[in-house]
Structure 1
Amino acid sequence: MKGLQSFYKAFYGHSFYRHFRRPPDFNLKKFRIQFTVENPKTLYLHVHRNSSHHPCLIHTYDYGSKGNLRERNKSKIVFDRAFFDFDVTNPQIKEIKNELISLRSHGLNYQKEKQEDLTEILQKLIIKKKVAKPAIDEAKDFALKFKETFGKEPALFFSGCKGCHAYTFFKASSFKNIDLALSWFAEHIKNTYNYETLDLSVNRDSTARLSRIPYSKHQITQLAVVSFTIDDDYLEIMRKSLNPYVEPFEIEDHSTNFHKHLQKIDLVESFNANVKKTTKPKNVALSGNFNNQRNLNDHRIFFRSILGNPVREYPEKNYVMYQCPFPDHTDIKPSFMVHKCGYQCYSCQKKGNYWQFLKDYYNLSDIQVKKCLKEML
C-alpha cells in the first residue's frame, strides 16, 4: 500500500520499542508469535507479510528502550498517547467468528470455501446490517466532546470488525499509574454520556494493551483498519475499509494537553489507592489456619486462608487464580496466579512469596512480618 511506511513513521515515530504480536490461528510451532519492532520499515514488512492471515497487533505504548521492553519495565514506558476502544457486543458475529476460528485451527486451506462463505457473511453483517454503527456513532460523539474540551479531536480508526479506536496524542509524560487515571476518565465519560460501547477493560490495563495496526487487515473479516473523520458516513467508512488507501496523517492535528488533565487525575487516584492500601486492617492476615509449617510451604493453602476460595482452579497445572487483591488496578478477569512456591499477578506484575505478600498487602515491615508469622505458627 503506497505511503504506508511514511504513515507509520508519522503515527509511531522514527524509532520505537514495541511488541508486534501475531497470535497464530492454528497451532504450528514454526509460526513466531511475537516480534520486537523498532522502526516503521520493520513494522511495515511485518504487516505486509502477515496481514489478512493473522492478527496484526502492537503495544499501544512505547517502552522507550529494548531493555525496558524485555523486562516489562512499566515505570519507564513512554506515554505519548491515550487509546480508547469502542466495541459492539453481537452474539451472531461472535458465533460466526468462533466457527471460522475453529476451521482455521486446521489450516488456512481447510474447507476453504466454507471459510470464504463465513467471511462473506461477516462482511454483509458489518456493512449492510451496520453492526459497527453504534460504536462508530459514539466514537464520533466522543471526538466532538473531546475537541470542545481539549481543542483537537482524536484520530479515529475503524477496527475492521464491529468497533473502532480513538487516539489522542500529547507530549511524552510520566505517570505514577496511568491505568488508574485512564480508567477513571473512561468510566467518567461512559457514565456521563451513556456510551454503551466504550470498553473500560482496555484502560484498566492499558500498559499491556495491544491495538490493531492501522491499515492492516482484520484476519477474520478481511476488512482493513482505516481512518475516518466525524463527517464520514457509515457506508463511506466501509468503502474505505474494502478498498483501503493511506490518507495523509499529521500527529500535530490530534495532539493536545490531555496529559496535564491525566496527571491531575493520576495524582488523586494514586493517593486514594495508597490510602486504601495503608488503611487495610493489619490483623486480617492472622485469621487463617496456620497450625503447621506445611501451610507456608504450599502457597495455595496460605492464600486460601487469606483470600478464601480461588476464582479458578487448575489441578492438572498445580496452580489457582484469584482476582488480584492489590488496589493498584481493577482485575475483572482473574490474573493473580498462585502456585506452590509463590504468586504472580500478570496484570500489575507483583510477585513473590508469602513474606513479600504480607509486606506489600498489609504494608508491614520485615520485623512485623516476622512477628505475625510467629503468632500464626
Structure 2
Amino acid sequence: MSWIKDPAFTAQSPFGPQTLPYGVIDAGSGPVVAVRVGDHALPLRSLDLGARLSPLVAGESLDDLLAAERPLWSELRARLTELVQLPATPVGADLLPLSAVRSLLPFRVGDYVDFYSSRHHAENVGRMFRPDGDPLLPNWTHLPVGYHGRAGTVVVSGTDVVRPHGQSRPPGADAPGFGPSKRLDIEAEVGFVCGGPVASRVSTSAAAEHLFGVVLLNDWSARDIQAWEYVPLGPFLGKSFLTSISAWITPLEAFSNARLPTPAAPNPLLDYLVEDQPWGLDLRIQVNWNGSLVAEPPFAEMSWSAAQQLAHMTVNGATVRPGDLFGSGTVSGADKRQRGSFLELSWGGKEPVTLADGTERTFLADGDTVVLTATAPGPDGSLVGLSEVAGTVVSGE
C-alpha cells in the first residue's frame, strides 16, 4: 500500500506508478522539477535520491536530466518507482495538488522538427489539394517527410493561442491580402523529447539512447496562410506562430508494453531506415473541441516511427542534442472519426462539424478550446498516460 493516497494514483489510472512523467512546476517559490503522481505533483529536490541522481533534478528545468544518458535515466526512474510505492512517506516528500501549482515549459527546446508520417493524413490532404493527381508524392513512401520548425514558439499546455496574421489569397482573387487567419486549425501529434549525448547519423538501433520521453503536441496551423506560402519551399508562417506540448514528459521506458511494428512499408527500405525492433506505439488519442469529443486518431497506424524519423533527421550529419524536439506529424486514421486535423474533419471547410451544444465549426473561432489526451497500454493491464495539451484561441487584433 503506497503512502500516496490520491485515488488517481493507481495502475488503473493513467498517472499511477506505471507512468511517473517529469515536469517543472512553480508553487510560488520558483521552478522545481517534479513527477506527476495521480492528480498531484511530487517535487524531487528534497527527496533522498543519492549523490548520482540528485544533481540531475536539482535545477529549475529538466535540462540537466536530458543531458544525462540512458543508464542514469533508468536508475532515476527505478528509484522513484521505489519511493512512490513505499508504505511510509519518504523524508522530504511533499505532495502538491496540480490545481495549486503552475506548470512551466519543462525544458529549453533546442531544434524542432515536424514530420508528416500518417499515410491517411497525407492522402487526405493530397486528395483535397491535388484532386486530379496521386494523393501521395513519390518520395513519401521512401522517407519520413519533415521540415525544420521554430523552437522559440513551442509553449506549454494551457498557453493561449493568439490568432496569427499573415498573407493569404482567397479563392478567385488575383492578389493576396493581409489579416488574421480565417482557417485556424489543429494538428493532433505526438512529440518526442531528445536527450543523451550529442550525436549525428543515429541508427534506428541506437534510438533509445537519444529518446528521453513522449509528449502530446498540437501543431496549430493557419491553413489560409499556409496554402498561399508553401509552394515551392514548404511550411513557414502558417506553422511557426505556436506549437503546444504537454507539461509532463512520459519517459520512453513507460511504453514498453505499447511497442508494436509500424505498418509494412510499400517499398524496400534503405538500410538506415530498417529497424531491428518494433518502434511503433499503441497510443489512443482523443481530440476534444469545446468539450465535444470529435476525433480519436490511432497512433498505431503511423507509417514512420520515431526511430526512423530520428535516423532520417541525422543521416546527413545533422546533430541531435539534449532538448531537441520532433513531432510525429498529424495522426489520422482511415475513418472520418479518426482524423487528427479540422482540415480533414471538415474536408477543407465543406463539411461542418457539429459540437455537443449544437454549434457548427469548420475551423477554429475565437474562444474555442481544444484539448488533446492520450493513453497507452501498460504492464499487467494498466494504463500509461500522456499529459493533456490544451489551448484556447484568442483574437490577434
Same fold (TM over 0.5): no
More helix by share: 1
TM-score, structure 1 length as denominator?
0.25
Q: Which structure is higher in RCO with an 8 Å CA cutoff and minimum separation 6? A: 2
More strand by share: 2
Return the index of the structure with the highest Cα Rg: 1
